Each structure stands twice: as structure tokens, then as C-alpha cells.
Amino acid sequence: MSLSMVRVDENRKEEEDPLLESQLYQKGVKHLSENVVAKLPKKYIWPVSERPNNATKGEVPYTFKSNLNLPIIDFAELEGSNRSQILKALANACEHYGCFQVVNHGIPCDVTSSMMDVGKRFFELPFEEREKYMTSNMHSPVRYGTSFNQSKDRVFSWRDFLKFMCHPLSDMLPHWPSSPMDFRKLAVAYVNETKHLFLMLMEAIVESLGLAITNNNITRQDNDNILEELKDGSQLMVVNFYPPCPEPHLTLGMPPHSDYGFLTLLLQDEVEGLQIQFQEKWVTVQPIPGSFVINVGDHLEIFSNGRYKSVLHRAIVNSTRPRISVASLHSVPVTTTIRPCPKLTTETNPRRYMDTDFATFLEYASSSEPKKKNFLESRKLI
């Protein structure tokens, strides 16, 4: 029986053969979309309390009324006479929003557009080609899959993804997809540009925290010299693909979560889909062509001893247009321990987080279904 025959209601019953249904789910939402699913399969229907709550039924596509213009950081002005004002704006964004948008970042348009294009072409490959990279091993240098964590997710998300590790580049590159033929060439250019932008942003963020980055008193032992660690740090690329969804008000493209690293640089197309939790409400981030959305991650919140907040975010989907985004997640080397910067802890602002590292995060993520900011909560002392 076709998946399109599934009824969508609160008393919904499984009508498909369980084995057939499982095989279809494993192939991802692009496969479901290509088979013209008219109703959302039960596996993708979220509990009422967790569904997008700003959708207006009857509208096609479903629209979200609460929109947010994030703080905008003009990267070019960081090097000018207005640097002190930009640093204040950066601090405000990290404290109160957990994210911001960067314009005039200096990455050539052909580099960003080519990355988006080759990412799209990867998802247009036959499933048999994409399937080569399917694995549940979170240590794998390349992973193709669906949902958020298909081996753990209780309810699936309407997303397919390609994840590939980028550091050290010479070691990781041979594992990257060889199709499309220009994938590696275009992705290398993008990886190098985003790594440079990330380091420049972190230099400004460290300065905005009041840490004198050129001060000789800063030592690696105190973990204040975070910039040196980040130069040789980890980088993970995630290409997300969200096909049109038959019933977007019943599901999510990605569940609420925070990112584990220091910063995530998100490149997205013009289709709305990213939402952040702001003042306890979900709001849709308005895309700015050519910009990056920068998310504060858990590691930066820990390093800043809670001054800068990692942002809780999710992705919504729509019924008419596909959406694609490319996330570049950056942090310290996987063997490095993250702890609050000693210069940011005082008697009145004591240490708020225990030490952590990438191995601890992987163990946590592999053993439980990721929800909201649960990993960060598990690291809190007070």
C-alpha cells in the first residue's frame, strides 16, 4: 500500500507494511518527496506540543507570522575606526540573542554560490550514489543520513544531510564524496574561507569579552590563549536539504537544539526556515542574501562562563519550495578540554560549568536522543 494512503489524525493507525515503511524511512525524505507522498507518514508527525505553533492552518504554504531581524555585524568595520562600537554590538548580540548576521565578510560570492550549488547537486544524485556514505558511526569522516539521528530519534525530522569533517584537511579530503566531480574542489575553497572568517570573528569575540589577546600574561595553561587552540581546531561541514513537505504544520525540519562548538557559520538560501528561541518565543530569522548567520555554540557559552549564550534553534519546512543550507561548525581540537576562562570567573561570578571535551559530547549524543540544550545542561555546576 502506498504511503500516500496513510491517514493523518490523532488516532492514526499504521497501514503500511512495517518492513516497507522502514526501508522507505531509511532512504530519507528526498526519496519520500520524489514518490509524491500526499500525507505525512506517522513517523514524521510530532506531538502537538512540539509542532510549529505559529502556523496558520489552511494557508499554503504555511506561514510564520513572527519574524526577527537579527543584529547585523558589518565585518568590514571591524578593521576600521568604528571597531569599538562593533565590538559592543557583537557582545550585545552574543549575550541577548546568541546569534547575529555578518555582512561584508569578504568571502567571494562565487565561493558561497558554488558551495550551495554543489551541495544541491549532491542531493540530486541517484540514491545509490548517496547511499555509499550512509553510516550510524558518528566518528566517520563522512556521513549521509536523514532526520537528526535516525538511530535514536523517536520521531523523524523532515531533513536529509551530508556531514563531512574538514580537519586535518589533507587527511579528510580523500574521504569526501567524489561525485559530483567538482565537489571536493569547491568544498575545499569554501572550507578554507569559512575557517579564516571564523578565526577573525573569534578574535573579535575574545576582545569583546575583555580579554587582551596580545597580552603576554595570557598562557595556554590558563586556556586564555584560545585563539591558538582554534587555529588547529575542528571543523565540521553539514549540508542540509529540506524537500517540500505535504503537511509542514505537523513536523519539523530539525528539532530544537544548540550547537556543541564555539561558532556555527550558516549559509542559507532565500527560503525562510531557520527559527531561534528569542524571549521564550520561536521567531523566524529573515535571510539576508550573501550573509552568514552566526550561532553561538555550547563551547563558547562554557568558555565565557555563561556570559555569551548558545542559541536554541530549529528548522521549519514548507509545502512548496525546497530549502538548502550549509553549516560550518568550529571548535577546538577534539582532544582539547573546554573550561570557563579563568579570567572570566570571580568570587561574585564563580565557575558555572565543569570541564568537557568532544569525546564526552559524542558519548552523550550517541546514547540519547538530542533535545534542546540538554548536553550543556549536563555540564552545569550552578
Q: What domains can be seen in the chain, in order of their start residue?
A: 1-45 (no CATH), 47-379 (2.60.120.330)
Q: How confident is the model at residue 316 (pLDDT cuts 50, 70, 90)?
A: very high
Residue 195: which of 165, 162, 161 has the closest Cα?
165
The predicted-structure confidence for 108-165, as pLDDT tens digits, reads as follows 999 999 999 999 999 999 999 999 999 888 889 999 999 877 767 889 999 999 999 9
H/E element holding 214?
none
Whether pLDDT at 189 is above 80: yes
User: What average pLDDT does range 190-210 have in this prediction?
Assistant: 97
Please calculate the CA angle 309-310-313 and round it to the nearest 5 degrees. Answer: 130
Can you tell me the distance from the alpha carbon of 115 to that of 318, in angstroms, rounded to the nearest whole number? 23
Residue 372: which of 264, 271, 201, 254 has the closest Cα?
254
pTM of the model: 0.88
Q: Which long-range contacts (CB under 8 A, 24 or more apart) does 360-369 make?
A: 361/260, 362/138, 362/139, 365/138, 365/149, 366/138, 366/152, 368/152, 369/149, 369/152, 369/153, 369/154
Answer with the residue of higher pLDDT: 81 or 133: 133
Burial status of residue 138 (CB atoms within 10 A of its CB: 0-12, 13-18, 19 or more) = middle
CA 134 to chain centre: 19
